[in-house]
A and B are shown apart, each in its own frame.
Chain A
């Protein structure tokens, strides 16, 4: 199957700082990437869908100014958590799909905001 990587795999930051998470499709062109958030013992919650070269489509209740998503190329999407606070601590997972609509998931990034 296709491979999706995320970097970093974990990050600890101070409250008020911004954190950037990268999602890369390593062996296919990802026309669409998805960003999910998962709190402990809960399900994945879709935050936004991004198509290459277009603005991301955010789900209801997700602050687009706080969670900046960029999908500038067919192999890279970034999620920037701006002015992070402890309540933003979570597991962030990306997935990518090409022309088959099948989603391939990255390994996730664990964010802890102190």
Chain B
């Protein structure tokens, strides 16, 4: 079984600063995928970034990067140069080997202050 833990219920950051959202996971699978989603107040789930367990490089997508530390089983999301529009809920998720379904963490509410 997979488990995702996000220990930060809420984060407050000044605009233009970088922010790191923590995510740790637990699995016995050798192959798995890690995802980050953004959920603004409208409710839609916006895919941000994906990291495969065998990917040697940390994933990056524009201002988003994933700090993948396999030995520590962590997959932290780093947002550089934060913007007011980054204020939202952020969910870390995992898909196990051969699995279809995603397992989500509890989420972190990020608030960007002007």
A105 and B100 in contact, given A43-B91, A43-B106, A43-B107 (Cβ under 8 angstroms): no
Complex contact A49–B42 (CB within 8 A):
no
Q: How close is B83's CB to chain A, nearest CB, in angstroms?
A: 21
Q: Is B25 an interface residue (CB 8 A)?
A: no
Q: Is A107 an interface residue (CB 8 A)?
A: yes
Cross-interface CB contact of A107 among B37, B44, B47, B100, cutoff 8 Å: B44
Query: How many residues in B have their beta carbons less than 8 Å from beta carbons of A?
Result: 16
Query: How many residues in A have their beta carbons less than 8 Å from beta carbons of B?
Result: 20
Give the residues from 78 to 114 in chain B that come closer than 8 angstroms, CB to CB, to chain A.
91, 95, 100-107
**Per-residue B-contact encoding for A79-97, CB less than 8 Å = 1, 0 else:** 0000000000001010101
Give the residues from 59 to 114 in chain A that come closer than 8 angstroms, CB to CB, to chain B.
91, 93, 95, 97, 101, 103-105, 107-108, 110
Task: List A residues at the B interface (Cβ < 8 Å).
Answer: 1, 32, 34, 38, 42-44, 46, 49, 91, 93, 95, 97, 101, 103-105, 107-108, 110
